[in-house]
Amino acid sequence: MSTFAQRIFFLVCGLVAFGPVSAQQLGIFDGQQDIGTVARPGAGTYAAATQQYTVAGGGTNVWADHDDFHFVYKKLTGDFILYARAELVGRGAEPHRKMGWMVRQSLASNSPQVCVAVHGDGLTSLQYRRTAGAATAETRAAITHADVVQLERVGQTFTMRVAQFGQPFVTAEVANLDLGAEVYMGLFVCAHQAAATEQATFRDVRLAVPAPADLVPYRQYLGSHLEVLEPATGRREIIYSAPVSLQAPNWRPDGKSLIYNSDGLMYNFDLATRQPAVLPTGEVKNNNNDHVLSFDGKQLGLSSGVEALGGSIGYTVAATGGQPRQLTPRGPSYLHGWSPDAKQLLFTGGRNQNFDIYRVPAAGGPEVRLTTSPGLDDGPEYTPDGQYIYFNSNRTGTMQIWRMRADGSQQQPITSGDYQDWFPHVSPDGKWLVFVSFLKEEVVSSDHPFYKHVYLRLLPIRSTGQPRVIAYLYGGQGTMNTPSWSPDSKRLAFISNSAEVR
């Protein structure tokens, strides 16, 4: 697809979802209205500059045999994942005012529905009505005062995932809830008092359609959102969307552009114009998501599949593009890190039926094996001072983040194994470590697949505490395989994914 066609697709599909545009569109939503009996009308607004929604609603309750509230909605079929960071505004007049995500069979007040409701007093619950006019049931979350709210549909099962930002999700689900093939999904606010209007803000709103069960990995792909994240606040912004697979953004040291791969080619993404352009790499056109810029930004390491040589082969090329020079003689070899002086590169090599970390001179020369433990060692990256290498290893049974000296000595784990942790990236100021965490119940330690629930987690380099979640997303392989910090260490670039909205 051409850049022009991708731009048209992006404009038509909206900021965070793929689907048709309605004349009533409010951001990603098609319409809004009061549901039930509401004495004081509600309203929803969308600020495109901040990608934030503000919803005001009246109504006496979302409970019992009917609901009265304001609803900002979109009609959908199929499975989906709804995500937002949400907050009620002000102290409010009623402790049981509530807001969150809702999915309804219809816009009738007594419609079957399910919602994630966060109350003014902090109570957080999964509420649902199985049939029209039936009593509402509730499953309360193990936490209160959730400000990260997610509602997911898979068939007739709806899962609530909620958290206080920075913490992992706690979950609850309701099964065999038949709301029909096509539903109304959206954001809601209920004042819980007839004479009142309450307000909530929703930011980082995301609608993701997950991969179908019959998707063939590495042959079929979902669409992509190129996002920028502020680790200090967790604020996210989608800066580009495409219906194809975009993977592994690298931030150039001048701060003006990113590099990513798509369909075997390398692209330079201009942050001012928000437009991509192909970065020429000669005959090397089977590039994967293990590519890395040198610290000075002058050279680019590529990993490109060459079946005749055993798989992925390492190359180097000028960062402006050109004809690459082969670095590793055989595959599989996946480049991940340059030394700060640009004289050495680190790669993951499959040799003798084992994957280990290797070092190789940038000018060419013999490989030096740095890890020898059975299992998979991957994702090596130097610290900015060149003293240490961070990598991930499943030698203990779970994939964890490890650290070693630049010569391969003093290997020790950094994370505890609560998740399958991949691809550690050290901030340019040397203070922070960010990595991708897969859920153990979804992913085995030896794999880092596309299209799963993942966290981006952050850990101070000199800390022995627990990592903090800074992003909750649908992604995985290609999300953040390579160094993606901005040069000022204040932002990160990554990829999230969604199929086309139906």
What pLDDT, in 10s, does the model give residues 91-128?
988 999 999 999 999 999 999 999 999 999 999 999 99
CA distances (Å), origin 11, targets 14, 164, 478: 6, 33, 24
Give residues with Cβ within 8 angstroms of 31, minimum separation 6.
22, 24, 72, 73, 74
How far apart, in whole angstroms, are the C-alpha atoms of residue 457 and residue 414? Answer: 13
Give the residue-averaged pLDDT of 230-247: 97
Give the residue-averaged pLDDT of 191-206: 96
pLDDT at position 19: 32
465: its two tokens: 């505490």
Maximum pairwise Cα distance, the chain: 77
pLDDT at 9 exceeding the cut of 90: no
pLDDT band at 25 (very low <50, low <70, confident <90, very high): confident
Query: What domains does the chain contain, in order, with CATH numbers?
Result: 19-208 (2.60.120.200), 278-483 (2.120.10.30)
Per residue in 386-418, pLDDT (tens digit) is: 999 999 999 999 999 999 999 999 999 999 989
How far apart, in whole angstroms, are the C-alpha atoms of residue 453 and residue 159? Answer: 13
pLDDT band at 465 (very low <50, low <70, confident <90, very high): confident
pLDDT at position 502: 81
Residue 139 one-letter amino acid: T
pLDDT at position 8: 35
* Residue 113 DSSP SS3: strand
The 3-state DSSP composition of the chain as helix, strand, coil percent (nearest 5) reads 5, 50, 50
Give the residue-averaged pLDDT of 292-319: 98
pLDDT at position 3: 40
Calculate what percentage of the chain has a pLDDT beyond 70.
95
Give residues with Cβ within 8 angstroms of 28, minimum separation 6.
14, 15, 16, 17, 19, 74, 205, 207
363: its two tokens: 């000018």
Give the residue-averaged pLDDT of 28-52: 97
Give the residue-averaged pLDDT of 231-240: 97
pLDDT band at 463 (very low <50, low <70, confident <90, very high): confident
Between 8 and 423, name the one with better pLDDT: 423
180: its two tokens: 């029909």
pLDDT at 10 exceeding the cut of 60: no
Whether the pTM exceeds 0.75: the reply is yes
pLDDT at 17 exceeding the cut of 80: no
What 414-422 contacts at long range (C-beta under 8 Å, 24+ apart), as own/partner pairs, is 414/390, 414/459, 415/459, 415/467, 419/455, 419/457, 420/394, 420/444, 420/445, 420/448, 421/392, 421/457, 422/378, 422/379, 422/392, 422/448
